[in-house]
Structure 1
């Protein structure tokens, strides 16, 4: 079995998602060197941080966390683009495992009831073929033992992706709309909204506002990356 596996990797080598060097047998998705170069946010306070500040005066967020900084031309940007546009969903699994273990250990999100991924519009989902945060959410769900709910929040407008807009365009964008298909389902629940990256927070804010239609629904936010 190992011989067959070695032969397979000889002809179809696993390459690092960022530097594209061949991965060693004990490496997965990204190489050890690139992994060490990842720009961690080092957030330790889940209730008072820059992510929470982004929603101040707009919508109440209970807790928020992002693992990495997302900057122009940095390694995180390459990973998010691989995940989002090049079909490399294993990146979502990698960070689902990473964050799942971290959150299971610190117990910050032990009181959530559901994990909710930011949905794609059905047109964009058909074009892309997948939601880039689905496998991330599924992996988190396995670690945290909390259900991933994908069919209760839907996107009812298709706008240009936030990461491809200029910062000015993102600030003035009011076209992203979401809809809850069952408001009562989230009554008295604490939901964890997940996405790949926070830019201005406009998309997550729009999602959170829709959950405010559910009585006494609390909202927390988790992403792989955060734009400073």
Structure 2
């Protein structure tokens, strides 16, 4: 069986999703060189980091982090493009395991009770076939031994893609778009809200606003990447 696998890999090698070079036996998803060069933020252990400061005066959060900085035409953009548009779910698994190991070592995230993803609208979910944050959330859940629940938060209206909108218009476009299915189940809980990329933070603020009526809830945020 290993012989046939080796023959297959000889003709159809698995390629690094960053540099497109063939992976070696001990490499998965990305090669060791690209992994070493990825721009880590180290925000998980940094109080009052850039992400947390971006939410000051907008919404109440306990802590926030992202695994990487996001740069246009960089390797993180390549990785997230493969995850979001090419159904390369192994990227979400890799990043979830990676960030999960960091969160597990940080006292700032030690009281999390439940992991909740930013949802897609059902129309977009049907078109794409998956939420790009699902495998990321499942990996975080397994690494941290914390429940991951996808049906808690719902998007209640459909908007066009946010990526090309100006900061102010983007904020207007996500107001009151989210609904909490059962607030009672979240009372006195510390939730970890997760997404792929933080840009202006408007979508995350809108999600936090949806939780405001929930008694004694605490919210922290963890994403794959952050745009400076």
* Same-fold status (TM-score > 0.5): yes
Question: Would you say how many aligned residue pairs link Structure 1 and Structure 2?
Answer: 228
* Partner in structure 1 of residue 208 of structure 2: 208
* Partner in structure 1 of residue 52 of structure 2: 52
- Of 124-133 and 154-163, more deviation after overlay is shown by 154-163
| Post-superposition CA distance 1:43-66 (Å, at most 9, x none) | 254431111111111111101011
Q: Measure the CA separation in 2 of the matches of 1:32 and 1:13.
A: 16
SS in 1 for 2:179: strand
1:9-20 equivalences under 5 Å are 9-20=9-20
Q: Measure the CA separation in 1 of the matches of 2:45 and 2:181.
A: 33
Cα distance change, pair 94–47 in 1 and its aligned pair in 2 (3 A): same
Unaligned 5+ residue runs, structure 2?
none
TM-score by length of 2: 0.94
TM-score by length of 1: 0.94
Cα distance change, pair 174–224 in 1 and its aligned pair in 2 (3 A): closer
Deviating above 6 A after TM superposition, structure 1's stretches of 4 or more consecutive aligned residues are none
The CA RMSD measured in Å over matched residues stands at 1.6
Q: Measure the CA separation in 2 of the matches of 1:197 and 1:160.
A: 17
SS in 2 for 1:142: helix
- Of 31-40 and 139-148, more deviation after overlay is shown by 31-40
Q: Measure the CA separation in 2 of the matches of 1:53 and 1:91.
A: 28
Q: Measure the CA separation in 2 of the matches of 1:147 and 1:212.
A: 21
| Post-superposition CA distance 1:1-24 (Å, at most 9, x none) | 321221222233211112211111
1:12-31 equivalences under 5 Å are 12-31=12-31
Q: Does 1:137 align with 2:137?
A: yes
Q: Measure the CA separation in 1 of the matches of 2:18 and 2:215.
A: 44
Work out whether residues 45 and 106 of structure 2, in 8 Å CA contact, stay in contact via their aligned partners in 1.
Answer: no
| Post-superposition CA distance 1:103-145 (Å, at most 9, x none) | 2223432201100011100110011011001000000000111
